[in-house]
């Protein structure tokens, strides 16, 4: 049961929006013009993602951005997004670091959340790796709170 709840927690952020979109498709077609909002995901992960987000903002298209505050380039992302208060910004909570040669770890520190990290103190590369390590729900809560706190302290709120 604990693993099922954890799996839902880890995957729910990506699955639930898709389910909502599917349900909306079943409704009657809109009578007015179709509205488009582009969601920029993984903002703050690296410089190139931040630059791509900034370029997209400058097009004038409506966008929203989810910032990964556990990643090394989040400060640059915050700097860019503060210049564009019309962009809707959210927090991309993360417990994973899937890139082979570019990884990150918890804000809480590896010693504080040992079930969430590999031998190098970095987040596990896949949800399966994380689940194999029997992650502590208390450690997940601690790390998510740290990411939320960093976001709030960044001045984005």
Could you tell me the CATH number of the domain that includes residue 103?
Answer: 3.20.20.370
Residue pLDDT, tens place only, 33-46: 888 899 999 999 99
24 in a domain, yes or no? no
Determine contact, residues 123/117, Cβ cutoff 8 Å. yes
Residue 31's pLDDT is 80
> Which pTM value belongs to this model?
0.79
Q: Domain for residue 13, yes or no?
A: no
Percent of the chain with pLDDT over 70: 81
Pair 10, 2: CB distance under 8 Å: no
- The confidence score (pLDDT) of residue 34 equals 80
pLDDT at 80 over 80: yes
Is residue 9 in a domain? no
What confidence tier does 104 reach under pLDDT thresholds 50, 70, 90?
very high
In-domain check, residue 136 = yes
Q: In the prediction, which pLDDT does 105 show? A: 98
- Say how far apart CA 101 and CA 97 lie, in whole Å: 10
Residue 8 inside a domain? The answer is no
d(CA 150, CA 94): 13
CB neighbours of residue 73 within 10 Å: 19
Give the model's pLDDT for residue 26: 56
Stretch (H or E) spanning 43: strand 38-43
Domain-embedded: residue 63? yes
Q: Is the pLDDT of residue 56 over 80?
A: yes
Which pLDDT score is estimated for 24? 53
Question: Per residue in 107-133, pLDDT tens?
Answer: 999 999 999 999 999 999 999 999 999
Residue 20 predicted with pLDDT over 90 = no
Judge whether 84 lies within some domain. Answer: yes
Number of separate domains in the chain: 1
Structural contact between residues 35 and 59, judged by C-beta atoms closer than 8 angstroms: no
pLDDT at 1: 46
Average pLDDT value over all residues in the chain: 87
The contacts of residue 94 (CB under 8 Å, 6+ apart) are 68, 70, 71, 123, 147
* Burial of 111 per CB tally in 10 Å (0-12, 13-18, 19+): exposed
Phi, psi of 34 (to 5 degrees): -75, 135
Alpha helix stretches (DSSP H) within 59-136: 74-82, 127-132
* Range of the structural domain that residue 60 is part of: 38-153
């Amino acid at each position: 049961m604990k693993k099922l709840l954890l799996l839902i927690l880890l995957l729910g952020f990506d699955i639930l929006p898709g389910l909502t979109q599917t349900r909306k498709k079943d409704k009657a077609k809109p009578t007015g013009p179709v509205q488009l909002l582009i969601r920029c995901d993984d903002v703050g992960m690296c410089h190139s993602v931040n630059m791509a987000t900034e370029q997209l903002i400058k097009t004038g298209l409506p966008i929203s951005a989810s910032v990964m505050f556990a990643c090394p380039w989040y400060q640059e992302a915050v700097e860019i997004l503060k210049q564009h208060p019309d962009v809707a910004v959210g927090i991309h909570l993360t417990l994973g670091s899937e890139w082979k040669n570019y990884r990150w770890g918890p804000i809480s520190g590896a010693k504080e959340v040992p079930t969430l990290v590999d031998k190098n103190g970095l987040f596990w590369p896949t949800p399966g790796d994380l689940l194999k390590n029997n992650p502590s729900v208390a450690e997940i809560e601690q790390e998510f709170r740290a990411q939320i706190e960093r976001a709030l302290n960044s001045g984005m709120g």
